[in-house]
């Protein structure tokens, strides 16, 4: 009865070999979308089926897994994927960025700088950066093959014409290794500079669209822009209300129906780490905790 019901990390070995081959090809051609035979996973499309398959294919028994969803380690999606691999692969899991060897992410790159022993796996909904401008797959493939990327600038032109600045705030197109234009998945453009020359391997899996692509370590990643409208990462102009960080990506949290709001780090691990190290923000609960403790002691 205690015999394992699943192969290590859920997928069978043949499937993992197939995915690894796609990953190797993706690493060999940075930014190129490699088709692969995506499997049905025990979760709905849009919940990270692509990322989960890539993680399953690269995970080893010694790995330590961290899963982030919109920067947070404790949302439903992050918790269930972490539990999934804890159960099917028996690997150690963590929420600390420094301790993890494989980090599966949705929509964020951790604030803590990654190192060469880590792999970052992105969940990608729509891998094709040209899709909304050119609906034909045959045509977009030809455009990638011939490096015809004028159309990508048409999108940026439209932004400036309509809003006066490049208003694309997430899934901001990048050029990888001076060749392929790539969709960095719906990460905020704040995270784009972190992709450039990153020591960690970055893998992207799109389950529904059946594509895998990659940025090898230390690869040049350039955000597209115009000479007179250069790329600018966007950040709310406020410190984190909990840890006071001035340089992290912030979530806006609406606190009442009278316009009240607070800004907090979207990377919960980073924020908690800073609070543990004694940093406080304007709305930090920590001082109250201390006061409560003093009251009970006294």
Q: In this chain, which stretch among 5-13, 159-167, 179-187, 206-214 interacts with other proteins, using CB under 8 A?
A: 159-167
Contacts with other proteins in 53-82 (CB under 8 A)? none
Q: How far apart are CA 207 and CA 205, in angstroms?
A: 6
Is residue 146 a contact residue for other proteins (CB under 8 A)?
yes
Q: Is 31 a catalytic residue?
A: yes
CA 211 to chain centre: 16
| 87 vs 153, beta carbon nearer other proteins | 153
Answer for the pair 11, 56: CB distance below 8 angstroms, yes or no.
yes
User: Which residue out of 50, 51, 271, 273 is catalytically annotated?
Assistant: 271
Could you tell me the smallest distance in angstroms from the CB atom of residue 227 to other proteins? 5
Is residue 231 a contact residue for other proteins (CB under 8 A)?
no
- The bridge status of strand 174-176 relative to strand 119-123 is unpaired
**Which residue from 39, 114, 49, 104 is spatially nearest to 75, judged by alpha carbons?**
104
Is residue 158 a contact residue for other proteins (CB under 8 A)?
yes
What distances in angstroms separate CA 246 from CA 154, 165, 204, 211, 226, one per listed residue? Answer: 34, 24, 29, 36, 28
Could you tell me the smallest distance in angstroms from the CB atom of residue 172 to other proteins? 16
Is residue 164 a contact residue for other proteins (CB under 8 A)?
no
Tokens of 200: 């960690």
Q: How far apart are CA 146 and CA 138, in angstroms?
A: 12
Is residue 138 a contact residue for other proteins (CB under 8 A)?
no
Could you tell me the smallest distance in angstroms from the CB atom of residue 170 to other proteins? 20
Is residue 228 a contact residue for other proteins (CB under 8 A)?
yes
Q: Is 265 a catalytic residue?
A: yes
Q: How big is the CA angle at 252 (ends 246 and 253), to the nearest 5 degrees? A: 125
Question: Would you call 31 helix, strand, or coil by DSSP?
Answer: coil
- Centre a 10 Å sphere on the Cβ of residue 211 and count the other Cβ atoms it contains: 22
Is residue 258 a contact residue for other proteins (CB under 8 A)?
no
Q: Is 198 a catalytic residue?
A: no
Is residue 196 a contact residue for other proteins (CB under 8 A)?
no
Which of 64, 92, 133, 262 binds other proteins (CB under 8 A)? It is 133
Tokens of 242: 């909990």
Is residue 160 a contact residue for other proteins (CB under 8 A)?
yes
Q: How far apart are CA 145 and CA 180, in angstroms?
A: 9
Q: How far apart are CA 141 and CA 121, in angstroms?
A: 24
Strands (E), 107-146: 119-123
Q: Is 50 a catalytic residue?
A: no
Is residue 227 a contact residue for other proteins (CB under 8 A)?
yes
Which of 64, 79, 151, 262 binds other proteins (CB under 8 A)? It is 151
Is residue 40 a contact residue for other proteins (CB under 8 A)?
no
Is residue 141 a contact residue for other proteins (CB under 8 A)?
no
Is residue 131 a contact residue for other proteins (CB under 8 A)?
no
Could you tell me the smallest distance in angstroms from the CB atom of residue 162 to other proteins? 7
How close are the terminal C-alpha atoms of the chain, in Å? 55
Residues known to be catalytic: 31, 240, 243, 265, 271
Site residues, other proteins (CB under 8 A): 133, 142, 146, 148, 150-151, 153-154, 157-158, 160-162, 226-229
């Amino acid at each position: 009865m205690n015999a394992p019901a699943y192969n290590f990390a859920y997928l069978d070995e043949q499937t993992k070999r197939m995915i690894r081959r796609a990953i190797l090809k993706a690493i060999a051609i940075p930014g190129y979308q490699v088709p692969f035979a995506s499997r049905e996973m025990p979760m709905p499309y849009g919940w990270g089926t692509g990322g989960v398959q890539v993680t399953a294919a690269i995970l080893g028994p010694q790995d330590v897994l961290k899963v982030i969803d919109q920067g947070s380690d404790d949302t439903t999606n992050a918790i269930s994927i972490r539990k999934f691999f804890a159960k099917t692969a028996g690997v150690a899991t963590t929420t600390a960025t420094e301790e993890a060897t494989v980090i599966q992410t949705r929509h964020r790159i951790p604030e803590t700088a990654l190192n060469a022993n880590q792999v970052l796996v992105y969940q990608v909904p729509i891998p094709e950066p040209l899709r909304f401008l050119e609906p034909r797959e045959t045509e977009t493939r030809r455009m990638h093959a011939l490096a015809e990327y004028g159309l990508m600038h048409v999108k940026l032109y439209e932004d400036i014409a309509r809003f006066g600045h490049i208003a694309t705030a997430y899934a901001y197109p990048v050029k990888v290794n001076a060749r392929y234009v790539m969709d960095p998945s719906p990460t905020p453009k704040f995270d784009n500079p972190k992709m450039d020359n990153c020591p960690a391997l970055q893998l992207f899996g799109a389950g529904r669209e059946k594509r895998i692509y990659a940025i090898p370590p230390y690869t040049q990643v350039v955000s597209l822009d115009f000479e007179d409208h250069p790329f600018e990462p966007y950040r709310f102009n406020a410190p984190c209300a909990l840890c006071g960080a001035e340089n992290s990506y912030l979530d806006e949290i609406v606190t009442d129906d009278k316009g009240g709001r607070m800004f907090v780090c979207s990377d919960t691990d980073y924020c908690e780490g800073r609070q543990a190290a004694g940093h406080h923000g304007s709305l930090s609960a920590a001082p109250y905790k201390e006061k409560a403790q003093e009251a009970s002691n006294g």
